[in-house]
Structure 1
C-alpha cells in the first residue's frame, strides 16, 4: 500500500522540516496552501521549492486545494467546525476537483506529502484533503 504523508511547518526550522521529509523518503511535496507565502523565512514558494530541489525533492503547488480566506480566518480563531465547512465547499469546486485528480496522480507515482502550516494535522484542512483522497485511492496516511 502506498503512503501519503502530511506535514505542517509550524514551529520548525527549514532544516528540521527538510530533514523530516528526507527521513520519510518523500519525493514530492504537494503544497496545499491557498497562498504559498509565509512570514517564516524559507517557507515561501520560491525559497521552499529551491531548498527542496537541492535535496532532490520535487515541489507542486495546488492552490485550489487550499483553504479560502474565510476558512483561514475561522481556523486562526479556533473555529474548526466553521473552517471544515468552508473547506468542504471549496473541495466541491471544479478547480479543486481538477487539482485533486492531479494530487492523486502524483501521489500514485511518487512518495508524496501534503503541506500546510499547522503542526497538528487534525486541526488542518490537509487532514480533510487526505480523507477525500482516501475515498478514491488506497493510501496509508502518515502525519509527520
Structure 2
C-alpha cells in the first residue's frame, strides 16, 4: 500500500469528520482553524490570498488525493470547487490524539456554518488573513473592515530598500509571508533557471503566488550562474572563488540587467532579490546586491531576510 503524508491524512480525516462534500474555499478555512488548534509544528502554513487564508500545499495535496482516487474535485460556480470523498475512510484513527481532538472541535464548532459565515469568521478573528481579500467588504461590517485596513497598513513602509532572501528551508507560504510583512513590492528572481524541485518555487507557481498577494515577480536570468559552475562547492572558500569570478565575468558582461533591476528599484522602492541558498554568503544574490549598493546615487538601504 502506498505511503501517505501525514498532512494528507489530516485532510481526509477532516472530510470524514464533516461527513459531507466541502467547497475549496471552506476546506481552506477548516484547515486554517484546525492548525490554530495544533500543538507545535503546524501541518499547513497559510497566506492572505484572494479569498482569505490559503495554503498552496493543502491545495496541491487535495489535487494529489484526487489523482490517487480518494476524492473527486467538481468545478462549481464562482471560481470554486467541491471536494467529494469517493469512499469511506478512517484516517482519523491514524492521527495523534491532539490532532484528532482538534478536528472534532473544528467540526463541532464550525461544521454547520455556511461558507460565507465561515469565511467571515476567519476574517473577524484573524484580520491579517483578509488583507488581500476581494470579498471582505461583502462579508464584514465597516468596523470590521477598518480592522482589516489597520492590519494591512501595519506592514506598509515608505522607505526605499533592497532586500535579499533565499527560499531554502521555507515553505512557499512562510516565504510569501516574509515578503508581505516586509512590504516587498517586487520579487526579483536572479536564478539562471527558475526551476526548483521544491514545491512552489518554480517560476510559474511562484509568479502566480506572488501576484495573488499583490507582489510583482520578475525573472532576470542574465544575473544567474550556470548550474554546472556550482558543482564541487564544499567550503566557503569555494563559494568565494566562484563569486569573485562571477563578479569579474558574468556580472560585468550583463551590466545592463543590473541597471534594469536598479530602474525597478528606483520606481517600486522595495525590491527583494531571491535565489535558493539560505546562507547569503553562499549565494550570488549577495554579490548582485553589493553591485547595486555600489552604484552611484543610491537612495535605498540594504537588508537580508533570514529564516
Q: What TM-score, normalized to structure 1?
A: 0.92
**Partner residue, 2:242:** 83
Aligned 8 A contact 1:71 1:87 in 2:
no
Specify every segment of 5 or more residues in structure 1 that has no aligned partner in the other structure, as ranges: none
SS at match of 1:114: strand
**Partner residue, 2:161:** 3
How far 1:90 sits from its partner (Å)? 0.9
**Partner residue, 2:212:** 54
**Partner residue, 1:71:** 229
How far 1:52 sits from its partner (Å)? 0.3
Give the structure with higher Rg (CA).
2
How far 1:10 sits from its partner (Å)? 0.2
Q: Deviations over 1:48-84 (max 9, x none)?
A: 0000010000000000111123432254x33112221
Does 2:235 match 1:105?
A: no
Specify every segment of 5 or more residues in structure 2 that has no aligned partner in the other structure, as ranges: 1-158
Does 2:295 match 1:115?
A: no
Aligned length: 141
Aligned 8 A contact 1:68 1:90 in 2:
no
**Partner residue, 2:98:** none
Q: Whole-Å Cα distance in 2 between the matches of residues 139 and 68 of structure 1?
A: 29
SS at match of 1:22: helix
Aligned 8 A contact 1:74 1:80 in 2:
no
Detail structure 1 runs of 4+ shifted over 4 Å in the superposition.
none
Aligned match for 2:302, one of 127, 141, 144: 141
Does 2:202 match 1:41?
A: no
Q: Whole-Å Cα distance in 2 between the matches of residues 67 and 113 of structure 1?
A: 18
Q: Whose RCO is larger (CA < 8 A, sep 6+)? A: 1
